[in-house]
Structure 1
């Protein structure tokens, strides 16, 4: 049936309120408007940021919503003015846009964009400001579009500046991971930290982002990669991605930064924080060697302040943040997909569970219980 220009009724996982399981509902997805694309989601992964918004953030603001931002699918239809996409194209929706026109997009030093949800709505985790800007409804209520993507749905509508077209043969149940976590960790190492050949690195947190950071450090030529986590069961997986040493802070009676300093004759050249815990952020910074050490933060936390002493910076250390691995999203994601398909990047090893969309709450439980790395949800068929 031709659905272009019509409202589509489909299944979606709706988060009606915080700290509650999401509910499978029939929702209505309106046709795309100017410069928008309606996407049939084939697969989506569950990221810790989805869990943070649902269970850990503790705010009623931002509900009801359809979460999800690590998805991949095909173009169902396009709105007026869209010329770079056509129905049937394989695509990845993006939570970081690239308009290619603003001062940030024109600056090669950043992947920020004036038209990203984060630029237009500081502090918000959704891309809607009124009933007229969301294309999703359920039971007569507007559903907020999380990060402008909402991939926990069979269909979603995304602005064309936040969509990457990928190779026709790309496996959507794998490349969906490039929509957030893997690109974030990998890019934090190769783009933001700019890890150097022969250097020593420490990666804090061995979830999907941290393991991707380990992979990025290895790809950049680091000679020593120290994986830091309180769960020793993650060390074998980190070794698979290139880690050479392993530190469990629970095994030591001194701060982990002191442990790393003793292991590396003063500190690591590069550290990458992939947890979102402000205490870990401080440890990562203070684990860097004075003079030239660089620490990169990738973990999200909007409820706590990070603190350290100014001497850490006076001694020559640098603290940087990395959003989506520093990648210009629309331009870079297709290249990352090509790297995957040419064997230059590991993705299969990140996927530890595969479930249908209607078992999404099980996927959240797996993450809460720290079981596995990434769960991919099969949403629909091609």
Structure 2
């Protein structure tokens, strides 16, 4: 009996040892990894913005009078210099006629004074008349010539006022509704315009960015940590509609809005079809800079602790999983952008992460390796090694 018992115990221990060894092999997880390499990753900014007309002009009268006619259709496109309104010109035409008559009278008076002065000149030399009489005649001639200049200026003013009775378009663009109708009395000092013209092709988009973000970006650019990005801007309209035309950043304001703490950046967009209207709210997206030392890692490979800090699992020494904290504050397309915690050549595990712990033995496989299917063994199901991976 003792011998048989010892033999049975030996068989049992051998069986347990075999099962333990098999379990150890099964616990060696097969994982897919990629080799970390730096990439030049744009620093994208998504800002809220509002469209602003490229040019805006308020059509205003420069003389006082009653509107007699309107020459445009509301909502149409007008050309610079095109007549829009006519103000009753009767009084201004009469003023021109009066100024012309006054100028003619001044010229006649000047001619007579000039002739008289010329006649007194030799007589004064011969002392046939008092020299004072000649001096007075000469002064009268000069005064009459000055009166000609004054009346000529008055005539010019009258002609200008007469021309102002026709109100032209100051700029080319789309004109809105008329704010004063035919028969309304208007004046040069009134507060409201007759109409408003807006030029919408091209069109501006004013974007608001936090002053703190802009300052941080400028500091990083000055330190050489990032390089300047593109000035090309893209728009997203309400409803998720992407505007087909790309714009260009023109400039940024030099002052900060005290109420919002933001700085205004202005971009210019072509608007040939008039899709963008002044006052629309849009979302602008553009690359303000580029980080040449960032790592692009699939988002599923970046995990989070309870405190929100990011970490990745690496292929460590002796094929054991190693956990490392990283800085991953943003994404780019389908990747997480890692800016700290990694170095070139690190093997980042991107597949087989479920249940993977620090120091666990692993079987690393390059993520581009094809999937392997083990042959079916008698009494067992097909065992598929988890090395079939998507291209990382």
- Which TM-score band applies after superposition, normalised by the shorter structure? under 0.3
| TM-score, normalised with respect to structure 2 | 0.17
| TM-score, normalised with respect to structure 1 | 0.18
Higher relative contact order (CA 8 A, sep 6+): 2
Greater per-residue strand proportion: 2
